Structure 1
Amino acid sequence: MGGDAGAKSAKARPRYEARREAILTAAAEALAQEGLAGFTLASVAKRMDLHPVSLTYYFKRKEELVSACLLHGADRFDAMLDEAQGAGAPPERLAAFVRAYFEVQRRIALGEEPPLAPLDEVRTLWRASGDPVDLRYQEVRQRIADLLVGEDRPAPAAWRQRLLSRLILQQLASSDSWLADYALADYPRVAERVAEVMIFGLAAPGQRWPQDLVLTAPESTDSEMVRERFLIEATDLINREGWTGASVDRISARLKVTKGSFYHHHADKDELIGACFDRSFAILESALARARTAETGWRRLFLATAPLAVSQAHDGRGRILRRYALRLARPELRGAVEQRMRQTASALAGLICDGVSDGTLRPVDPTIAAHMLLAMINSALMLDRVPELTPEITLYGYVRPAIRGVFSVR
């Protein structure tokens, strides 16, 4: 009897693992398309044509399923890093990791692999130190940092390693928002161009690092002060805690005003997120306008990006809504926001072209480089877990390697 039961259990195990893998695939697709705000066990079950109760045999709660999905994604990053580890010197290892990442993206586009779970949800769900998902991604980031170390390249300080690995991972993950503009046959070329910017940066040889960074927060008129404060607080809450964390009650409590003040300016939360995006684009466009007055392309690029990135990490008034919040927007708003995002990337790419033309920037793919710089700006908010973080550290440890290459910082 015991032998028969054991045999049945052994036969059932592969079926269990296959179904669990299928659930993780459907969950990754749901997270990639809908974000955590729209993610439910029911939405995953619908993708599989199952009753939601069937999923609870494998995952009791949606948080458990999201956790498993993210941990599965970390395992896939480990496989890419395994492939890159034996590639030779640090620059070759980094280039191999980038190639492996875009090969995975190619297979995802072909339907041969499920999407990678959005990295932004690691922050949204797990904020306490010691969480298994957070610890697992710390291991992934450390392995990325280890790629940069060799006999002639000693390991940088721990805080520099954390910043460099976050930058690399975020710049790769942000390609989800623009990679569809390229044909699958171009993915290897995209990987080559991304790795080139990471390794060598954008500044041409001989360009000095500017010393006169000026942070300027957006100004508000007295009549717009309450509305502006609502948008600042809403942007901060959405960035840090997702859509569900940015409740009208919480925003009002932080500002010590009534909910009526919110509804005086915004009909609902959908209108609020649209207003937050409008304000974010105004900040980006203002930075680009100031940068265009500089005398060289290198100087323009620096002024268009460095102040914005430092502001994301340290100045709440100048923070923009992070791109992942687009998953929270209603479909008609999403299209308009995506168009403005492409326009912003094109404007930044134009500044890069100016620098290539006048010789102050290296010849790079301006569109890809622009997307990578916007990813650096967008992800700077996530640096608040670095204990040593100061504006100077953000500038030299995060912005500088994005502009001058990750090996420019020792």
Structure 2
Amino acid sequence: MSTTAAGRAASKTPRRAAPKPKWNNAVDSRDEQYQLKKKAVILEAARAFGRRGAANVSLDEIAAALNVTKPALYYYFKNKQDLIYECHELTMQVGDEALQKAIESERTGYARIAAFIRIYVPALTGELGAPALLRSDSALTPSQVKRTRERRRQFDLRLRGLVEDGIRDGTILPCDSKFAVNWFMGAVASIPDWFDNQGERTGEQIAEIFASFLARGIQRA
């Protein structure tokens, strides 16, 4: 098959929707089952909260989406506020893991940031379904807000550190690391506003586009 023909065939391949959280899964132990079902609730809630705002989504709706009763949710979370906090935690965990993988897989500052984009964006548009990128912490308790903001601050500082590493190793043009991170992470944060997993671009393709923009913006030629 020619390259052109292969491309046409690939374009006709049905797009796969982001995987739905599963509730009734066979697992080996009771603890594994508990953790799996808890994560299913978090994933469903994160998507719903991200799309419509936490204030506009009830626990009844989340339970219905998972085909369980509302009381079943209280086995995993004390209340809605606790669930919202766990959604923030999961989103940050995905970011931390993507960043760590990028750092371990590349050697220069620029290469690590580009790798982070290529890992993080597909994670957001895949398992988390993009809308999980929660932006407001107004529904959290003061102590939860403090923990969440500190975790975000540390994440931001690690990204700035990679920009500064890239400036030192010559792979990134001299720039203000704070503004550079705000620029490319602002673009990533916009994904929930327009991404459609049935649309014309996959998460991997979007990540490559973002990485190419990153190259034009801060990479030293």
Q: TM-score, normalised by structure 2?
A: 0.74
Shift of 1:248: 0.8
1:291 aligns with 2:85: no
Shift of 1:367: 1.9
- 1:325-384 superposed Cα distances (whole Å, 9 cap, x missing partner): 223323332232122111110011111122112111111111221222222222212222
Equivalent position of 1:248 in the other structure: 59
Equivalent position of 1:233 in the other structure: 44
User: Where in structure 1 are there 5+ consecutive unaligned residues?
Assistant: 1-219
Equivalent position of 1:281 in the other structure: 92
User: Where in structure 2 are there 5+ consecutive unaligned residues?
Assistant: 1-26
Percentage of identical aligned residues: 24
* 1:254/1:378 CA distance change after superposition, 3 Å: same
- 1:118-154 superposed Cα distances (whole Å, 9 cap, x missing partner): xxxxxxxxxxxxxxxxxxxxxxxxxxxxxxxxxxxxx
Equivalent position of 1:213 in the other structure: none
Q: Which has the higher contact order (CA 8 A, sep 6+)?
A: 2
One-letter amino acid of the counterpart of residue 404, structure 1: R
Secondary structure at the aligned position of 1:328 is classed as: coil
One-letter amino acid of the counterpart of residue 101, structure 2: R
Secondary structure at the aligned position of 1:292 is classed as: helix
Q: Report the RMSD for the aligned CA atoms in angstroms.
A: 2.5
Equivalent position of 1:389 in the other structure: 201
- Check whether the contact 2:126–2:203 (CA below 8 A) recurs between aligned residues: no
Equivalent position of 1:334 in the other structure: 145
List aligned pairs for 1:70-89, cutoff 5 A: none
Shift of 1:263: 0.3
Alignment partner for residue 175 of structure 2, among 334, 344, 364? 364
- 1:149-171 superposed Cα distances (whole Å, 9 cap, x missing partner): xxxxxxxxxxxxxxxxxxxxxxx
1:401 aligns with 2:205: no
Q: TM-score, normalised by structure 1?
A: 0.42
Secondary structure at the aligned position of 1:405 is classed as: helix
Between the two proteins, the alignment pairs up a number of residues equal to 186
Indicate the structure with greater helix content: 1
1:223 aligns with 2:37: no
Shift of 1:286: 0.8
| Structure ID, larger Rg | 1
- Whole-angstrom distance in 1 between the partners of 2:187 and 2:194: 11
